[in-house]
């Protein structure tokens, strides 16, 4: 029994020594922290920068007589409403033809991705915003401004668009799409 009691005493004594060592090491780390806090508190406070001055608001006076009325619809490009009432001679879109699938997209959302050639037939490959690739030949329409394909080359396709001139007529504008290197 005495051997068992002495081993228990030794294990308790060694446990107590380990705990004392841990407590001593913690107290030395705390003294470093206390010194750092004292150093920070001893530093002089930095001045707070002043609040920037408030800029005074100057109201804008709208002169409705000299500019366009902001509450009326504008006559922007591609607006068919204003041009449909015009009686002027000149270029105009064919309203009797059925609109083609690629005419529902803006021209800048379409991308030319390549060309196909089979004997005398030449097509451009155009990708729509949904990622679907379409075959386009000369005479097909694409874009919202009545764009008609007039030429297809290996790396480029040319087209003409009809846009409103803002006073009821139509203007012809040339555009092109090129194969992107990316």
Q: Which CATH number fits domain 80-178: 1.10.10.10, 2.30.30.830, 1.10.10.60, 3.50.4.10?
A: 2.30.30.830
**pLDDT grade for 23, boundaries at 50, 70 and 90:** confident
Q: Answer for the pair 83, 164: CB distance below 8 angstroms, yes or no.
A: yes
- Tell me the whole-structure pTM to 2 decimals: 0.51
Average pLDDT taken over every residue of the chain: 81
**Sheet of 133-136: strands edge to edge?**
111-118, 121-127, 133-136
Non-local CB neighbours of 152 within 8 Å, separated by 6+ positions:
115, 122, 123, 124, 136, 137, 138, 158
Per-domain boundaries in the chain:
80-178
pLDDT over threshold 80, residue 124: yes
pLDDT in tens, 39-69: 988 998 888 899 999 988 888 776 666 666 6
- At residue 77, the pLDDT reads 47
User: Does 74 have pLDDT greater than 60?
Assistant: no
């Amino acid at each position: 029994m005495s051997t068992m009691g002495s081993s228990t005493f030794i294990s308790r004594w060694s446990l107590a020594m380990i705990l004392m060592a841990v407590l001593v090491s913690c107290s030395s780390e705390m003294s470093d922290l206390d010194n750092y806090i004292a150093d920070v508190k001893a530093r002089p406070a930095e001045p707070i920068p002043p609040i920037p001055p408030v800029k005074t608001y100057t109201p804008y006076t709208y002169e409705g007589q000299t500019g366009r009325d902001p509450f009326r619809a504008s006559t922007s490009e591609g607006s068919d409403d204003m041009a449909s009432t015009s009686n002027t001679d000149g270029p105009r879109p064919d309203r009797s033809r059925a609109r083609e699938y690629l005419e529902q997209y803006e021209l800048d959302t379409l991308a030319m991705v390549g060309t196909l050639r089979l004997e005398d037939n030449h097509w451009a490959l155009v990708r729509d915003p949904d990622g679907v690739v379409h075959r386009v030949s000369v005479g097909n329409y694409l874009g919202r401004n009545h764009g008609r394909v007039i030429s297809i080359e290996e790396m480029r396709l040319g087209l003409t668009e009809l846009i409103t001139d803002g006073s009821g007529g139509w203007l012809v504008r040339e555009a092109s799409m090129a194969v992107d290197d990316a």
